[in-house]
Amino acid sequence: MELSIFIEYWPLLLSGLIFTLKVCSSSLIMGLLLGIFLYLFSTIKNRLTFMIYRAYLTIFRGTPLLVQVYLIFYGGPLLGITLSAAEVGILGMGLYVAAYFSEIYRSGFNSLPKGQIEAAQNLGFSKRQILTHIQLPQILGLIVPSLTNQSIILIKESAILSIISVPEITYAAVKMASETYSVVEPYIFLAGAYWVINFVVSRFGNWVELKSTHYLATN
């Protein structure tokens, strides 16, 4: 172990770490919002739109993320869409994770008995009140663990963006390994960095879960 090489390379690794955090948070936000949109799209009572929804899910959940990213990266310019590698990464991961998020939302909303909503309607609750006061508080506690899990999976998968030369942390570590000819230190550091990020995310998820199920603890 030669730890002194970190003295020279820590700025590169740090900027890689920040880039990973940026790319992941951007694509997670995109996925969370697009997922809501997809979920709403799936609730339209129409056979055609539901088939389109199923097709979206099958394609994005049934093929490797690497294939999807390559398709946007190399195929995009041929269709006149030129994006930077980082933009390709965010777009690719956002589209990919939205498919999973949408299904998580769907399972959450489906878990509530229909009678609740009917009862609320009878009591004169507006649609918006039903959503914010009845549906969301109950669903949040249910779906937060799944959302956290999926976010962790996405953060790990973001390592493949190094293949299309997004300057994130894996890219930085690979560069360091090839320049210093030492593989042990960069890769151990890399594994540790991902582990720490995911540990923090899972703790954050637990905290959100605790907050969102707070009303249960008080009774």
Partner 1 sequence: MFDISIVFDYIGPLLEGLWTTAWISGISIFIGLILGVALALTRNGKHPLWSRLVIVYVSFFRGTPLLVQLAIVFYFLPLAGIFVPSIVAAILVLSMNTAAFQSEILRGGFRTLPKGQEEAAWSYGITQWQCFFHIKLPQVLRKTLPSLVNETIDIIKNSALISTIAVTDLMRIVQSYSSTTYRPLEFFITAGALYLILTCTVSYVGQRIEQKLIQHQGA
Positions touching partner 1 (CB under 8 A) are 58-59, 62-68, 70-71, 74-75, 78-79, 152, 156-160, 162-163, 170, 174, 177, 183-184, 187-188, 190-191, 194-195, 198-199
Mapped onto helix, strand or coil, the DSSP state of residue 125 is coil
Q: State the nearest-atom distance from the C-beta of 96 to partner 1, in Å.
A: 10
CA distances from 176 to 15, 51, 183, 192, 200 (A): 13, 47, 8, 16, 25
Q: State the nearest-atom distance from the C-beta of 183 to partner 1, in Å.
A: 4
Answer whether 114's CB lies under 8 Å from 76's CB: no
Answer whether 173's CB lies under 8 Å from 190's CB: yes
Cβ proximity to partner 1: between 39 and 171 the closer is 171
Cβ proximity to partner 1: between 144 and 160 the closer is 160
Q: State the nearest-atom distance from the C-beta of 146 to partner 1, in Å.
A: 13
Q: State the nearest-atom distance from the C-beta of 126 to partner 1, in Å.
A: 39
Cβ proximity to partner 1: between 158 and 212 the closer is 158
Residue with tokens 């940026």: 22
Cβ proximity to partner 1: between 157 and 209 the closer is 157
The pair phi, psi for residue 63, each rounded to 5°, is -120, 155
Q: State the nearest-atom distance from the C-beta of 62 to partner 1, in Å.
A: 4
**Please, what sign has the CA dihedral across residues 129, 94, 14, 3?**
positive
CA pair distance 171, 161, nearest whole angstrom: 8
**Structural tokens at position 114:** 């229909």
Cβ proximity to partner 1: between 38 and 69 the closer is 69
